[in-house]
Amino acid sequence: MADQVLDAKGLSCPLPILRTKKAIKEMSTGQVLEIQVTDPGAVADFEAFCRTTGNEMLAQRSEGGTLIFEIRVS
Amino acid sequence: MTENNAKSMSIIVTKGTLDWAYPPFILATTAAAMGLEVTMFFTFYGLTLLKKKLDLKINPLGNAAMEMPVAGMHMAMPNLIAAMPGATALSTTMMKEMLKKKGVASIEELREMAIEADVKIIACQMTMDLFEYNKSDMIEGLELGGAATWVDAATRCDINLYI
């Protein structure tokens, strides 16, 4: 269960990443952020974001037209 | 820049039309969000991106690759039409509407986010003088510098881009 949910639906690159960073900044280590996006480019981008920042991608799935990522804040 | 282990990136920003304003600000804000220390060096037409009030425009004149989606197809504006009075205003309005509709951030928003993320902003002193811009025309918090300032920063950056 996510500690926080970020609705980034309808936003294009780079806004979902920028909003995610903003949300993570307010969270503490170990907490889980769920991000909801509709930008298909987000799959590659969120993996890249996690690789570079060291935050952990816990899960990703697609619900309808929405992509959902769960990231554990490192 | 070398005080911690963060990676770093510099971007030389030379263009100031609505389309060319995007790549540097998108990359700068994203890199900052990914923990990189970012320096942007604005020179020549890129300087207009630092004006307090942005009034960015676009005109497809001479840009044969600029197609706009119209009624399910893509259409380029012929040069002769792009050269007519009002073509710049029309193209700018169309582009801005399209950006908004697709959920793309405005340059104003991206610039604000770059500043919030502590992106270091350097304005080229020589071009400021050349085009007779005053520091008071520009946003707060920028530094003035020249080629040596960028070269010095670039030697310590992992990524250096010219846009």
Query: What is the pTM (predicted TM-score) of this model?
Result: 0.90
For residue A1, the 8-state DSSP code is -
CA–CA min distance B104, chain A (Å) = 5
Q: How many domains does chain A have?
A: 1
Among B45, B88, B90, which residue's Cα sits nearest to residue B70?
B90
Query: Cβ of B104 and A12 within 8 Å?
Result: yes
Torsion sign over Cα A35, A39, A42, A43 = positive
H or E element that contains B93? helix B87-101
Query: Cβ of A52 and B35 within 8 Å?
Result: yes
Q: What is the ipTM of this complex?
A: 0.87
| Those residues with Cβ within 8 angstroms of residue B9's Cβ, 6 or more apart along the chain or in another chain | B27, B28, B31, B36, B37, B38, B39, B157, B158, B159, B160, B161
Q: CA–CA separation, B38 vs B56, rounded Å?
A: 23
**pLDDT at residue B4, as a whole number:** 64
- Mean pLDDT (chain B) is 94
Residue A48, in any domain of the structure = yes
Chain A residues with CB under 8 Å of B113 CB are: 18
| Those residues with Cβ within 8 angstroms of residue A28's Cβ, 6 or more apart along the chain or in another chain | A73
Query: Cβ of A12 and B102 within 8 Å?
Result: yes
User: Token digits for B140?
Assistant: 């707060």
pLDDT digits (tens, 9 = 90+) for A7-55: 999 999 999 999 999 999 999 999 999 999 999 999 999 999 999 999 9
**pLDDT at residue B2, as a whole number:** 45
Q: CA–CA separation, B68 vs B58, rounded Å?
A: 12
**pLDDT at residue B43, as a whole number:** 97
Domain that holds residue A18: 4-69
Q: Map out the domains of chain B with their CATH numbers.
A: 8-56+106-162 (3.40.1260.10), 67-101 (no CATH)
Query: Domain holding A50: CATH number?
Result: 3.30.110.40
Low-confidence ranges of chain B (pLDDT < 50): 1-2
Residue A74, in any domain of the structure = no
Residue A33, in any domain of the structure = yes
Residue B91 backbone phi and psi in degrees, to 5: -65, -40
